[in-house]
Structure 1
Amino acid sequence: MEKDALAPNVEDLYLESYAFTTAAAIVGSVDRKIFVLLRDGRNLFGILRTFDQFANLVLQDTVERIYLDNDKKQPEPQEDGSIEQKRFGQAYRGIFMVRGENVVMMGELDIDREDDHLAELQQIPFEEAEKELEKSHAETIRNEKTRSKQFLAKGLINDFVKSDLY
């Protein structure tokens, strides 16, 4: 077989080696496990089955996970001497369609290491995690309203939107 003089290493050029700035960049992640962060702060983990030009995604075997951080920078020891762990709750969601406009971040997961960090976290019921997250979001909204008023008093604007809680 004769090599092309204009493209001698054409066999080394794969679709994934090009830097796409459109939804086409997602093509290499089809049929792989991915993580998706949504504008409302939800974390989804699932297998990407398909997508379209608007970056609408269809995930299979989707799990929604909520991570709850300790409010304090240095957690204090509890009565039994143990240190309060960061917590998480998760729920199986099955097939999940995500509108592209709601995607903040997406990335592939290493399936051999994807759950390693969960060993350091305490699992709690998903409903409990959801209630705590709602409280946290309500507090964030309250704080941002106060901040917006302070900015406005100084002639500035704050671009916080209630749906952007990530």
Structure 2
Amino acid sequence: MEQSSMPLWLSTFEEDIDTYIFISSRDNKLYQGILRTYDQHGNIFLTHCVEKIIIPERNYFSDIYVGNLIIRGDNIAYFGSVDEDKYAKMFDYSQENKATKEAEDNSEADLVKNQKSLSSENVVLQYKPINQILSYLPDNNQDYAAFDN
């Protein structure tokens, strides 16, 4: 009888146990949480998990607290560990940001022009509450209809 061995990509989870990781699902949702365990099918269990909603056109993001989350292995598009220094630079949780007001005043053409001049190393995303982020999501996005009030 032949024993099935785990795929090689699963072995990378071993070194990430009890650390923060990012998971991108096949339906384009981004999760961040502490990896607690996984199995031979790639199913994972995250604690202290948040779903990150990012509006790249505006450099805004918001978090939806999920808590504990199990993600099936066949739903994982990609994953990686969190570099805490880069994370702290990229995700700005401060509410006192002058650039936010300026960005809201810019026209769409200016936003596209500014996006082209940024590299992935110097992008800073500004935190916005979820009720403000929802106004930037396309109308055809049905995933967040539960948050509409």
Q: With structure 1 as the length reference, what TM-score do the two structures score?
A: 0.56
For residues 104-155 of structure 1, give each alpha carbon's deviation from its aligned partner in whole angstroms, at most 9, with x where no partner exists.
Answer: 01001123432310232232222443564453657xxxxxxxxxxxxxxxxx
Q: Secondary structure at the match of 1:55?
A: coil
* 1:22–1:107 distance in 2 versus 1, CA, 3 Å: closer
Contact 1:47 1:60 in 2 (8 A): yes
Equivalent-residue separation in structure 2 for 1:53 and 1:93 (angstroms): 24
Residue 63 of structure 1 corresponds to: 50
- 2:88 counterpart of 1:115: yes
- 2:129 counterpart of 1:125: yes
Residue 28 of structure 1 corresponds to: 15
Q: Which amino acid aligns with 1:110?
A: D
How far residue 89 of structure 1 moved from its aligned partner, in angstroms, is 1.3
Tell me the number of residue pairs that the alignment of Structure 1 and Structure 2 aligns: 105
Q: Secondary structure at the match of 1:135?
A: coil
Equivalent-residue separation in structure 2 for 1:135 and 1:115 (angstroms): 31
Residue 70 of structure 2 corresponds to: 97
Equivalent-residue separation in structure 1 for 2:19 and 2:41 (angstroms): 19
* 1:54–1:106 distance in 2 versus 1, CA, 3 Å: same
Equivalent-residue separation in structure 1 for 2:141 and 2:44 (angstroms): 25
Residue 163 of structure 1 corresponds to: none
Q: Which amino acid aligns with 2:126?
A: Q
How far residue 21 of structure 1 moved from its aligned partner, in angstroms, is 2.0
Q: With structure 2 as the length reference, what TM-score do the two structures score?
A: 0.61
Equivalent-residue separation in structure 1 for 2:73 and 2:131 (angstroms): 26
Counterparts in 2 of 1:1-166, with a 5 A limit? 21-70=8-57, 85-119=58-92, 120-130=124-134, 132-133=136-137, 135=139, 137=141
- Structure 1: any 5+ residue segments left out of the alignment? 1-19, 71-84, 139-166
RMSD (CA atoms): 2.2
For residues 6-65 of structure 1, give each alpha carbon's deviation from its aligned partner in whole angstroms, at most 9, with x where no partner exists.
Answer: xxxxxxxxxxxxxx7242331111111100001111111111000001110100111111
| Structure with bigger gyration radius | 1
Q: Secondary structure at the match of 1:54?
A: coil
